[in-house]
């Protein structure tokens, strides 16, 4: 992939989501423009949508404040979720046993470029 001069990036770290559930939403908005992506995220029924929408709005704010680019002219070039650290907890069970509970986290990265 070629790196664009005006790449605008926003990263959300240590989000309490699994990477597979976040990627399910990110696959839907990848390649869309800012307006379409916000509309899709607003009406999708998944919990990950709220946090991804905040990251998308952060990237748009970065574009306006740092680069002077109108957010309506932005398009999502790359969107991916990397695995973060897993929080390990234990659930007490019968007869003194303990079952492990793994609470996954992820890091979501959105890269946007201005449309030509």
Q: DSSP secondary structure string, the chain?
A: -PPPTT-EEEEEEEESS-HHHHHHHHHHHTT-BHHHHHHHHHH---THHHHHHHHHHHHHHHIIIII---GGGEEEEEEEEEE-PPEEEEEE-GGG-EEEEEE--EEEEEEEEE--
Choosing among 2.60.120.10, 3.90.470.10, 3.10.129.10, 3.40.50.1100, the CATH entry for 8-92+100-114 is 3.90.470.10
* Domain spans, the chain: 8-92+100-114
> pLDDT tier at 91 (50, 70, 90 boundaries)?
very high
Q: pLDDT band at 115, cuts 50/70/90? A: confident
pLDDT tens sequence across 54-75:
999 999 999 999 888 998 999 9
**Could you tell me the pTM of the whole model?**
0.87
Report pLDDT for 6.
78
> What is the pLDDT, as a whole number, of residue 93?
95
Mean pLDDT of 14-20: 95
């Amino acid at each position: 992939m070629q790196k664009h001069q005006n790449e605008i990036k926003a990263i959300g770290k240590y989000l309490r989501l699994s990477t597979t559930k976040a990627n399910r939403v990110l696959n839907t908005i990848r390649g869309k423009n800012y307006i379409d992506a916000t509309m899709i995220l607003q009406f999708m029924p998944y919990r990950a949508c709220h946090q991804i929408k905040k990251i998308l709005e952060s990237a748009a704010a970065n574009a306006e404040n740092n680069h002077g680019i109108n957010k309506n002219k932005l398009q999502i070039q790359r969107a991916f979720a990397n695995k973060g650290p897993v929080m390990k907890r234990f659930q007490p069970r019968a007869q003194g046993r303990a079952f492990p509970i793994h609470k996954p986290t992820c890091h979501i990265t959105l890269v946007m470029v201005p449309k030509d």
